[in-house]
Amino acid sequence: MIDADDLIALVQNYNPKANADLIARAYDYGARMHEGQVRHSGEPYFTHPIAVAAILTEQALDDATIVTALLHDTIEDTRSTFSEVEKEFGTEVAELVDGVTKLTNLQLSSVETKQAENFRKLFMAMSKDLRVILVKLADRLHNMRTIRAMKPEKQVQKARETMDIYAPLAGRMGMQWMREELEDLAFRVLNPEARNSIIRRFITLQRETGDVIEQISADMEAELDRAGIDARVLGRAKKPHSIWRKMEAKQIGFSRLSDIYGFRIIVNTDADCYAALGAVHQRWRAVPERFKDYISQPKSNGYRSIHTTVSGRDAKRVEIQIRTREMHEVAESGVAAHWSYRDGVRAENPFAVDPAKWIASLSERLDSAEDHAEFLEHVKMEMYADQVFCFTPKGQVVKLPRGATPLDFAYAIHTRIGDSCVGAKVDGLRVPLWTRIKNGQSVEIMTAEGQRPQATWIDIVATGRAKSAIRRSLREEDRARFIKLGRELARVAFEHIGKKPTEKALKTAAKQLGVDDASELLARIGSAEMTARHVIETLYPGLSRKAGDEIDTARAVVGLNPGQTFRRAACCQPVPGERIVGISYPGKGVMIHGIDCAALVDVEEESDRWVDLHWQEGRHPAAHAVSMDLTIANDSGVLGRICTLIGEQGANISDLVFIDRKPDFYRLIVDVETSDIGHLHAVMLALEADTDVSSLGRHRDLERRP
C-alpha cells in the first residue's frame, strides 16, 4: 500500500503545483473512515481507494479527481456524510463523491427495463460532471484486477457487467487502453479456456518466429529515418479478448488470423502524419479498404489518427496508427484529457474535447426514445458503434455507425425527411434503401408528400434514432384506428351487462390492469392484446361469482384451542384472505385483528396473549361486515345506483350512516357484508369505477378497539 507521500509524488510528477495538503488530508480522512474494514482478499479496505487514485494519476488528472478517488466509498460505506465531506474538502469534491456513490448504487446488471432506466441515470450523472465516470471506471478497473478474491458467481456477474457496460463506455470516451484491459480481465473470468488457448498460441508463435514486434518496429524506424521523418514507433500484440472477438467475427482459427500486431507511429506535426503514411505505403503493400483518416474526420470524443493496414514480414498483416504526440495523449486519455495537467498547468491540448459538448452530443440521440427498450437499444448502438462518414449533396458531413443505410442517413438529417423517404442516390446512382453506406460516399434522399414509414424499414435501419422514429410513426398511425375499434368493442361489452364504458370506468380498469391510461386500454382492446370481457371481469367480478359449498362462520378460523370462541375486532374488521392474529381476553375469548392493526401496539409486550391464527381455506359466506368511507355526488338517483352496484357484486348493506352533507357531495359510512378480501376488492373496484364516486376507502376506527 503506497503512503500519502508516494501518492503526492505521483501527482507532482505531472503537476508540481498540486495541493499536497489537500491530498494528504483526504488520505488521512479516508484511512480513518475505513479503519477496521477489510476487502474480500483480507487486505485493509483503504488499499482500494488508494489504488483507484493511483490509476487516475496515470491520466494526469486534477486534484479534485484524485481526492474524490480517495474518498469515493466514504459516504456509502462509512459513517461519513455529504455535509462532512463538503465541510472538510469543499463542495466540488463532495458533489463528485456523492455522484460516484449514486453510480455505485445503480444495479446495472439487472433486467432489461431496469437496466435501461439505470442507463438514463448513468448519463444524467455523466452530464453533471464526467469526472464521476472517470473515478467509477478506475474503481471498476481495480476491482476487476483483484476480482479473484470474490465468490465465483459474483465474479461472473461483475465480469458480465464490465463487458456489457463499463468496457464499451470507456471505449466510447476514447480511453481505449482501459477498454482493452477491462475486456481482457472480464474475458479471463467469463471464458478462461479461450483466453489461455490464445496466450499459449502466442507463446508458440513467438518461439517459432522470434520477437516479431521488435523486428517490425526496427524496419519501420529505419524506413521513416530514410524519409527524414522524426518519429517514434510503438508496437504491441493485441489483447487476447480482441483476438478472440476477431476470430468469432470472421469464423476463423488463430493460425489464419493475420492482423494480431498493432503499431503506432508518433510524429511531431500533422504534415508528418501524412508523410509517414506515404513512407509506409511505399515500403509495404497497403491492404484495400483498411484505411481510415480520423485526422480530417475526427471522432466525436476528440480521437484523431490515421489507420492503415499493410502486409509486413512473411505476408503478416500489420495494423498501423499514425498520429502526433498531442493526438496520442487524447487517444490514451480520451475525454479525460480535458482535465489532465502537464508541468503544473492544465494541458492546452487542441484536440481535447469539451466534456459538456461531448456528453450533449452523445445524449442528443437518446432523448427521443419513448420506452425503456428503445433507450437501451440507443445506448448500446451508440456505445459499440464504429463510425462511417458520408456527405450530403451540399458537402456537409454526416456521422453514422458502420452498417448504416440511406434510411439511417435520412433520419439523421431530420425525422420528417426519414418518414417521407421514397428512394436514395449514392454517389449519383439510384440504390435500394437497404444499401450499406461506405466511408466518403455522397448520399441524396428523395422524398414524397404523403409517404409514411413501412414496417419492413425496422429491419433495414441500423441506428437507434431511425428505429425509434419508425416505431413511433407506425404506432401513431395504428393507434387511432385501434382506439376507435376498442371503444366500439368496449361499448358492446359494457351494454351486455347494463353498464356504460365511461371515462372514469375505463380509467379505473386501466389502473387496475397496469395500463397507462384509458386511451392505451382502448388501443390494446382494439389491437386484440386484451379483450373487453377481461376489462368487464376486472371491474365487475361479482357479476360472475358462483355459488358453492360455504364454510360455517363458526369454523372460519384455524388455530383455536377446543372450546375457544372468537370475534372479529371492530377496529380493523379483518376478512378472510387477510393475515390475522388472535389476542385472548379473559372471559371474552379470542379477538381477531388484522396483522397491521394499530391496536396491536397496546398488547405488543404481552406475547402470552397472542394466538397464531389463519383463515380456513375455502369459500366463506358474505357475512363479514366491513365499513367503507364513501364520498358521492349529491345528485338524484346516485345513492340508489351505489346501493345497486354493491348488490350486483353479491354483497349486502347492513348499515349506512351519513357523516357529512354538502350541497354538492355526501360523505357516508357504509357497512357491507363481504365473503373475503377478493370480494371486498371487487365491491370497492365497482364503486371506484362509478363517475359519481369521488373518494373511497376502508373505515378504520381505533375508538372501537377491544
Residue 107: its pLDDT value, please?
A: 56
Nearest 5°: phi and psi at 374?
Answer: -65, -40
Strand 652-661 versus strand 665-674 pairing type: antiparallel
Return d(Cα 595, Cα 574) in angstroms, integer: 9
Cα torsion through 651, 656, 661, 667, rounded to 10: -50
Return d(Cα 431, Cα 320) in angstroms, integer: 34
Confidence class of residue 353 from pLDDT cuts 50, 70 and 90?
low
Q: How many helices (H) and strands (E) does the chain have?
A: 28, 23
Cβ atoms of residues 468 and 374 within 8 Å? yes
Per-residue pLDDT of 231-245, as tens digits, reads 999 988 778 887 787
Amino acid at 305: S
Sign of CA dihedral 616, 619, 621, 624: positive
Q: Which three cell numbers stand for residue 554?
A: 363458526
Strands (E), 527-684: 557-558, 566-568, 580-585, 589-594, 610-611, 614-615, 624-633, 652-661, 665-674
Amino acid at 519: S
Residue 547 has pLDDT above 50, yes or no: no
Nearest 5°: phi and psi at 366?
Answer: -90, -15
Residue 455 has pLDDT above 70, yes or no: yes
Strands (E), 228-294: 232-237, 261-267, 285-286, 292-293
Q: Which three cell numbers stand for residue 632?
A: 358521492
Residue 113: its pLDDT value, please?
A: 42
Cβ atoms of residues 586 and 565 within 8 Å? no
Which residues are marked as active site?
Answer: 76-77
Cα torsion through 615, 617, 622, 624, rounded to 10: 0
As a whole number, mean pLDDT of residues 141-168 equals: 88
Return d(Cα 219, Cα 279) in angstroms, integer: 12
660 or 271, higher pLDDT: 271
Q: Which three cell numbers stand for residue 548?
A: 358453492
Q: Which three cell numbers stand for residue 213?
A: 514486434
Residue 555: its pLDDT value, please?
A: 83
Average pLDDT value for the chain = 82
Cβ atoms of residues 307 and 321 within 8 Å? yes
Residue 362 has pLDDT above 60, yes or no: no
Residue 391: its pLDDT value, please?
A: 84
CB neighbours (10 Å) of residue 96?
A: 26
State percent of the chain over pLDDT 90.
29
Strand 317-324 versus strand 261-267 pairing type: parallel
Q: Which domains does the chain have, with CATH numbers?
A: 4-190 (1.10.3210.10), 198-346 (3.30.460.10), 472-539 (no CATH), 553-615 (no CATH), 624-704 (3.30.70.260)
Residue 149 has pLDDT above 60, yes or no: yes
Per-residue pLDDT of 264-287, as tens digits, reads 999 999 999 999 999 999 988 888
Residue 509 has pLDDT above 60, yes or no: yes
Q: Is 251 left (phi over 0), alpha (psi -120 to 50) or beta?
A: left
Nearest 5°: phi and psi at 651?
Answer: -115, 155
Per-residue pLDDT of 476-496, as tens digits, reads 777 777 888 888 888 888 887
Place of cell 509506409: 280
Return d(Cα 656, Cα 640) in angstroms, integer: 12
Strand 421-426 versus strand 443-447 pairing type: antiparallel
Return d(Cα 483, Cα 510) in angstroms, integer: 14
**Of 564, 560, 594, 563, the residue nearest 577 (C-alpha):** 594
577 or 128, higher pLDDT: 577
- State the pTM of this model: 0.53
Residue-wise DSSP of 505-537: HHHHHHHHHT-S-HHHHHHHHHTTSS-HHHHHH
- Report the run of H or E that residue 693 belongs to, with start and end: strand 693-698
Per-residue pLDDT of 122-137, as tens digits, reads 666 566 677 888 899 9
Per-residue pLDDT of 25-58, as tens digits, reads 999 999 999 999 998 888 999 999 999 999 999 8
234 in helix, strand or coil? strand
